[in-house]
């Protein structure tokens, strides 16, 4: 913690006067006397816990201490950030937090906050919140561009483009090749103090979000889906996948709280949250993909397609019955291609007919085959 110069002198003079000597104060705090001298002279900065102990020996209040903290730092040679006295938890901030949890991370050594995505608009928003809410200086951002090693890329032009998009100096944009599906930008906010602060806030923020209004919950989902979500046009659904099961449970609880039906599935190493076709219009209205234009467009296309192809159940059942009268049997995959419907939709329709005893299903081997009950009876009668 870096203090105002006058306040720092006043604090240490008062503390030494109360304890008698620097050595006595150091023993009380639990540090070496040389550390007290360095803190008093502004050569290094004490942790907040040590400052609170020092304040406790004087008549100075903790409120006055907080008012005179200028900035915070962590780790040697780490960039300092202003001391954040108040953090407003509104929709903009929560959407940023959703982006961070989706495509961001606190790197293991806690030297910086990182965000990876291919969309410059998401990077601009991520940078804006760090500047406005945490006082992080724009000159301290830097970007590493990952380019596919199998594709020829004009590195200089690419760096210039991203420098213009993010309004960063060219020397803050680096480029390297790595096996990947496309060009991805890794944005870094280089400050151990910022990384420590964001890491400390993560768990309390999630608890606040879960107890907050529907608008705050939707903002978090909007940010998370903008970063991590995808539109699956084959299965007519919107989904997020990941290895962090706790995060998927959290997403599921938020969707439940705003009454969006979905399916939560877990496999060996990853899980999925799927918003199925009958809920995508509601998902688009309440959540959507925030600032991710590419995914917003894909969702709009899926909603339009679903509206055009969402025939009443009676008509779909009649189509399946007609298809079965032409063929001996059908499978889910065959009907998906024939009717241009999702796996879930076809499966649901088939089992409606199974429940009505119109169809029976052979599960002895995959793919499962569905037969008309009447056709099986006719075959059995002929064999007698």
Over residues 202-218, the pLDDT tens digits come to 999 999 999 999 999 99
- Torsion angle, alpha carbons of 192, 194, 199, 205, to 10: 180
Three-class SS state of 295: helix
* Phi, psi angle pair for 239, to nearest 5°: -145, 160
Question: Is the pLDDT assigned to residue 373 strictly greater than 80?
Answer: yes
Most confident of 74-83, 223-232, 273-282: 223-232
Report the pLDDT value the prediction gives residue 380, as an integer from 0 to 100.
40
CA distance 283 to 334: 29
* pLDDT tens per residue across span 119-170: 999 999 999 999 999 888 888 899 999 888 777 788 889 899 999 999 999 9
Per DSSP, 330 falls in state B
CB 276 within 8 A of CB 261: yes
Q: Are 116 and 194 in contact (CB under 8 A)?
A: no
- pLDDT score at 309: 60
Sign of the CA dihedral running 192, 206, 82, 104:
positive
Q: Which of 251, 255, 245, 185 lies closest to 224, judged by CA?
A: 251
Q: Return all residues near 206 (Cβ < 8 A) that are at least 6 apart.
A: 250
Residue 225 above 90 pLDDT?
A: yes
Separation in Å, CA 317 to CA 61, 332, 362, 368: 75, 13, 19, 18
Cβ atoms 335, 346 nearer than 8 A: yes
Domains of the chain (ranges; CATH) run: 2-72 (1.10.260.40), 91-198 (3.30.1330), 213-308 (3.10.28.10), 313-383 (1.10.10.10)
Q: How does pLDDT run across 178-191, given as a tens digit for each residue?
A: 777 778 889 998 88
Give the tens place of pLDDT for each residue, 40-94: 777 777 777 777 788 777 877 777 777 777 677 766 556 777 777 778 899 999 9
Q: How crowded is the C-beta side of 103, counted as CA atoms within 13 Å?
A: 26
Cis peptide before 180 (omega within 30 of 0): no
Q: How many residues does the chain have?
A: 384
Q: Can you read off the two tokens belonging to residue 6?
A: 């006058």
Q: And the tokens for 242?
A: 């990941």
CA–CA distance, 63 with 66 (Å, rounded to integer):
5
- Structure token digits, residue 62: 């903790």
At residue 113, does pLDDT exceed 50? Answer: yes
Only one residue has tokens 């919950």, namely 217
Q: Strand pairing partners for 71? A: 2, 82
**Res 123: pLDDT:** 94
- The per-residue pLDDT for 381 is 43
Lowest mean pLDDT among 24-33, 363-372, 373-382: 373-382
Judge whether residue 332 has pLDDT over 60.
Answer: yes
What gap in Å lies between CA 303 and CA 297, rounded to an integer? Answer: 10
Q: What is the mean pLDDT of residues 276-301?
A: 88
At residue 78, the pLDDT reads: 67
Q: Average pLDDT in the 353-369 region?
A: 90
Angle at 260 between CA 258 and CA 263, to 5 degrees: 130
95, pLDDT greater than 60: yes
260-264 average pLDDT score = 89
Q: Is the pLDDT of residue 304 over 90?
A: no
**So what's the pLDDT on residue 310?**
66
């Amino acid at each position: 913690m870096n203090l105002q110069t006058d306040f720092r002198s006043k604090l240490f003079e008062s503390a030494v006067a109360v304890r008698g000597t620097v050595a006595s104060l150091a023993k009380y705090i639990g540090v070496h006397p040389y550390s007290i001298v360095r803190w008093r002279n502004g050569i290094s900065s004490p942790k907040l816990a040590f400052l609170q102990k020092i304040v406790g020996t004087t008549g100075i209040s903790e409120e006055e201490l907080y008012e005179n903290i200028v900035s915070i730092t962590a780790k040697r040679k780490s960039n300092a950030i202003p001391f954040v006295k108040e953090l407003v938890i509104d929709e903009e901030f929560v959407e940023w937090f959703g982006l961070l949890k989706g495509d961001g991370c606190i790197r293991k050594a806690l030297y910086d906050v990182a965000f990876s995505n291919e969309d410059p608009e998401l990077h601009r928003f991520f940078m804006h919140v760090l500047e406005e809410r945490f006082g992080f200086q724009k000159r301290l951002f830097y970007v590493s561009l990952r380019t596919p090693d199998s594709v020829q890329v004009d590195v200089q032009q690419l760096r210039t483009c991203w420098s213009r998009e993010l309004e960063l100096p060219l020397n803050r944009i680096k480029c390297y090749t790595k096996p990947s599906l496309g060009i991805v930008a890794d944005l870094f906010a280089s400050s151990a103090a910022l990384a420590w602060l964001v890491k400390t806030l993560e768990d309390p923020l999630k608890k606040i979000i879960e107890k907050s209004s529907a608008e705050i919950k939707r903002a978090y989902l909007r940010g998370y889906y903008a970063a991590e979500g995808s539109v699956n046009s084959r299965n007519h659904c919107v989904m997020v996948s990941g290895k962090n099961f706790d995060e998927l449970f959290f997403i599921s609880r938020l969707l439940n709280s705003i009454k969006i039906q979905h399916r939560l599935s877990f496999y060996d190493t990853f899980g999925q949250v799927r918003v199925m076709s009958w809920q995508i219009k509601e998902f688009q209205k309440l959540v959507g993909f925030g600032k991710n234009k590419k995914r917003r467009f894909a969702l709009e296309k899926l909603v339009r397609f679903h509206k055009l192809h969402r025939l009443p159940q009676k008509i779909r059942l009649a189509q399946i019955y007609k298809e079965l009268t032409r063929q001996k049997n059908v499978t889910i995959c065959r009907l998906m291609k024939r009717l241009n419907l999702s796996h879930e939709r076809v499966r649901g329709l088939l089992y409606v007919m199974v429940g009505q005893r119109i169809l029976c299903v052979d599960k002895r081997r995959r793919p499962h085959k569905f037969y008309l009950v009447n056709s099986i009876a006719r075959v059995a009668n002929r064999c007698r």
